[in-house]
Amino acid sequence: MIQVSLRRIGVVALRVVRQLKRDRRTIGLIAFAPIVLMILFGYALSGEMSGVALGLVDCGGHPALRSHLEAIEDFDVLRLGSESDAELLVSEGRLNGAVVLQPDEVRVLLDASSLQISQAILTAAQSGAQKEAANLQKPQENFVITRYLFGYDLEMMDTVGPAIMGLVVFFFTFINAAISFIRERSQGTLEKFMVSPLSRVEMVLGYVLGFSLFTLLQSTTTLLVVTLGFKVPMRGNPLTALTVVLLLGAGALVLGSFLSNFARSEFQVVQFIPLVITPQIVLCGVWWPLQSIPEFIRPISYMLPLTYAGDALRAVMLKGSSLTEIIFPDLLALTVFFLVFFAAATLMLKRQVD
Amino acid sequence: MASDESGPVVSARGVVKSFGQLRVLDSLTLDIPRGVTYCLLGPNGSGKTTLIRAIVGLLKIDGGDLNVLGMPVSRVQQIYSKIGYMTQHKALYPDLTLQENLEFFAGLYGIGKQEREQRIVELLRMVNLQDLRNRLAGTLSGGMYQRLSLACTLIHEPELLLLDEPTVGVDPRLRQTFWKYFERLTSDGRTVLITTHLMDEAEKCRIVGYMKAGKMTAVGSPDDIKRQAGLKPHLELWLKDPEKDCARLRAEGYEIEILDGVVSLRLESHEQIKSVLEIVSPIDMRLKEPMLEEAFLQLSEAA
């Protein structure tokens, strides 16, 4: 029997907020964590990408051109699966350009917003093509075709910023929720709930509501740090960005609630971090484009909520996408993730033990 | 959903519950009438907590019939607003104040703000914590925590109150207050089921049920239990001439024990005191009523 009373949900939410409010260390971390993460990921990792980021799509042929490009020290060559991947990354400003090798021609995709780099890439591609031509018995006509795309000329900080917001919210909500549920169990309050008119659905929804207020505060702070402190652009509507973050936070909460069933103490919750948080950081496609992740691992990326949240937040903040533009696949995926783990978390809160 | 006003508040018929090989409730049968304090006594592991958890529907019973407030236990969640359950865990939020804890539990039962305030004041006074309402529950001592937990359990004025060891760590004077409050509740037609290890508390209950190995081995008022255990009052006599007097008493068929010069005599009833005094004239005498504790020791050895 599922019964839902908004008032009871509110009672749980109010309690959760009161408890969180009193946890000063967590409140402090909300403001502090995004700054640390921005510095860590934004500055420290950006060094890796100091060279020209060049995508390479190899569809056969032109081995001399390929090895020429790969041998250039200033270029960070990233192998990509298809031309459309390359186009996307160039237009997102995550690659400075790409070279598509086809048996009969070579297409060079360039970012029109950074002409110097484009020139360097083009020069390299042409000198590679000359080497290639020297190897051939029948010299071909000019087989290098150039296409200009309009990228954003973004800095590493800009691409990382939106995802940091998602990461911070996901991390803190997940940990806090899992620990809260562990405590409900160990201090006996869960058993008391079970013998009260509060239903399981109401309880989890109360948590979602209470934590959402917290998430709102957290993501607003992060948004301010990222946009004002680190000058990441905010081209779209900030409310759209907050919607994405709230949905992500709700997903993190129900995941935490669900996984708390498999931990016996707060200490064991912390041990979930390598399993739950780390893969999201590595595989969400923020620090390394999804297209550069080996194909057999990529399905995992597509199961992680941070992948979609990162994508949606980048779209809103950097491209100015509207809410309707990010429904598919990002908001849809985040909603499905939430619903699946909401059901799982609720079902695990068993009233009866056998 | 009005519950049956006349029938027992809890009625169990042949209730069975096993954990693996271990049979924790073994064809248990019991009736708890309305408006009484019912004490569940028994050694550790006799199944007291299991029985309470089965009554509130937290444990699924393997067999038998169990009805709570006229409702089969399988549907007990429909009447949770009428049940107050205090676990041994003393379920509270240490990071909320006393007031906030009480407000939260009141909210779960949909108690309006004005009524809530009134009850909070009354309950905090009852558990003698009225001056600490803005303290964090986590900073309370063990006994205070216990008292707050009781107040939270009573906030919605339940018809049936299930208290698993509610007075552990509570000082004697406050325990008195608790019992007075329980009496007030039962006089309003509410029912209190309590588990305790303290015999003096069990003596205060209208009905005591003694549990052993998952069965009720003795049920009745404290006096009934003593009678069932075959315990009788003793008369202690200080006699001028013990040897001669004892011989006369024995001749009249009284059972006598002599310990440190004091003659102890078993009475069948209090009326016998008169006839004893017709036989001997003691310097001093004292009537010793049997202790409930002895009754249980006897019963648990016998069972």
Give yes or no for residue B5 having a pLDDT over 80: no
What pLDDT score was predicted for residue A64?
85
Highest averaged pLDDT of the listed ranges A155-159, A179-183, B165-169: A179-183
Chain B residue at shortest CA distance from A200:
B77
Chain B residue at shortest CA distance from A186:
B89
Put simply, whether the predicted model's pTM sits higher than 0.90 gets the answer no
Give contacts of B 35-94 with A, CB under 8 A.
56-60, 77, 80-81, 83, 85, 87-94
Give yes or no for residue A260 having a pLDDT over 90: yes
| Identity of the residue numbered B155 | I
What pLDDT score was predicted for residue A2?
59
Query: Does B138 reach chain A within 8 Å, measured CB to CB?
Result: no
Query: Does A194 reach chain B within 8 Å, measured CB to CB?
Result: yes
Query: Does A213 reach chain B within 8 Å, measured CB to CB?
Result: no
Q: How confident is the model at residue A110 (pLDDT cuts 50, 70, 90)?
A: confident
Give yes or no for residue B127 having a pLDDT over 70: yes
End-to-end Cα distance, chain A:
19
* pLDDT per residue as tens digits for the range A215-228: 898 889 888 888 88
- Backbone Cα Rg of chain B: 24
Give yes or no for residue A352 having a pLDDT over 70: no
| Identity of the residue numbered A240 | T
Contact A354 B107 (CB under 8 A): no
Chain A partners of B58 at a C-beta cutoff of 8 Å? 191, 194-195, 351-353
Query: Is residue B255 within 8 Å of B249, Cβ to Cβ?
Result: no
Q: What is the ipTM of this complex?
A: 0.82
Q: Which of A8, A187, A351 sits opposite B108 (nearest CB)?
A: A8
Query: Is residue A305 within 8 Å of A248, Cβ to Cβ?
Result: yes
Give yes or no for residue B163 having a pLDDT over 90: yes
Chain B partners of A15 at a C-beta cutoff of 8 Å? 93, 96, 100, 104, 107
Helix (H, G, I), strand (E, B) or coil at B69: coil
Contact B58 A7 (CB under 8 A): no
Contact A189 B91 (CB under 8 A): yes
Contact A195 B107 (CB under 8 A): no
* pLDDT per residue as tens digits for the range B42-92: 888 889 999 999 999 999 999 999 999 999 999 999 999 999 999 888 799
Give yes or no for residue A113 having a pLDDT over 70: no
Within 10 angstroms of residue B88's Cβ, the number of other Cβ atoms is 16
Chain B partners of A352 at a C-beta cutoff of 8 Å? 57-60
Q: Which has the higher per-residue pLDDT, A133 or A314?
A: A314
What pLDDT score was predicted for residue A254?
96
* Percentage with pLDDT > 70 across chain B: 98
Q: How confident is the model at residue B1 (pLDDT cuts 50, 70, 90)?
A: very low
Contact B85 A1 (CB under 8 A): no
* pLDDT per residue as tens digits for the range A122-162: 888 888 888 887 776 655 666 788 887 766 556 667 778 88
Chain A partners of B80 at a C-beta cutoff of 8 Å? 195-197
Contact B87 A188 (CB under 8 A): yes
- The half-sphere exposure of A198 on its side-chain side, counting CA atoms within 13 A, is 31
Rounded mean pLDDT of chain B?
90
Q: Which of A1, A19, A188 sits opposite B91 (nearest CB)?
A: A188
Query: From the candidates A20, A195, A353, which should be mutated to test the interface with B, based on the most B CB atoms within 10 A?
Result: A195
Query: Is residue B95 within 8 Å of B69, Cβ to Cβ?
Result: no
What pLDDT score was predicted for residue B86?
93
- How near does any CA of chain A get to the CA of B149, in Å? 11
Contact A7 B100 (CB under 8 A): no
* pLDDT per residue as tens digits for the range A22-81: 888 878 887 788 778 777 776 766 544 457 888 889 888 788 888 888 888 878 888 888
Q: Which of B56, B96, B109 sits opposite A18 (nearest CB)?
A: B96
Interface A-B, measured as beta-carbon pairs within 8 A, has a size of 78
Chain A partners of B89 at a C-beta cutoff of 8 Å? 187-188, 191
Place of tokens 């899992």: A178
Q: Which of A11, A18, A351 sits opposite B77 (nearest CB)?
A: A351
Q: Domains plus CATH for chain A? A: 52-150 (3.40.1710.10), 156-353 (no CATH)
Query: From the candidates B95, B113, B134, B163, which should be mutated to test the interface with A, based on the most A CB atoms within 10 A?
Result: B95
Give yes or no for residue B4 having a pLDDT over 60: no
Closest to A241 measured CA to CA, from A311, A337, A153: A311
List of E strands, chain A? 52-58, 75-80, 97-101, 106-111, 144-149
Give the span between the Cα atoms of A191 and B53, in whole angstroms.
10
Contact B87 A196 (CB under 8 A): no
Encode B251-276: b = buried (16+ Cβ within 10 Å), e = exposed.
Answer: eeebeeeeeeeebebebeeeebeeeb
Helix H, strand E, coil C: the string for B78-112 is HHHHHEEEECCCCCCCCCCEHHHHHHHHHHHCCCC
Chain B residue at shortest CA distance from A23:
B95
> Residue B234 pairs with which residues in a beta bridge?
B266, B288
Contact B85 A197 (CB under 8 A): no
* pLDDT per residue as tens digits for the range B185-219: 999 999 999 998 778 888 889 999 988 889 998 89
Q: How confident is the model at residue A229 (pLDDT cuts 50, 70, 90)?
A: confident
Contact B57 A195 (CB under 8 A): yes
Within 10 angstroms of residue A248's Cβ, the number of other Cβ atoms is 29
Query: Does B104 reach chain A within 8 Å, measured CB to CB?
Result: yes
Query: Is residue A1 within 8 Å of A196, Cβ to Cβ?
Result: no
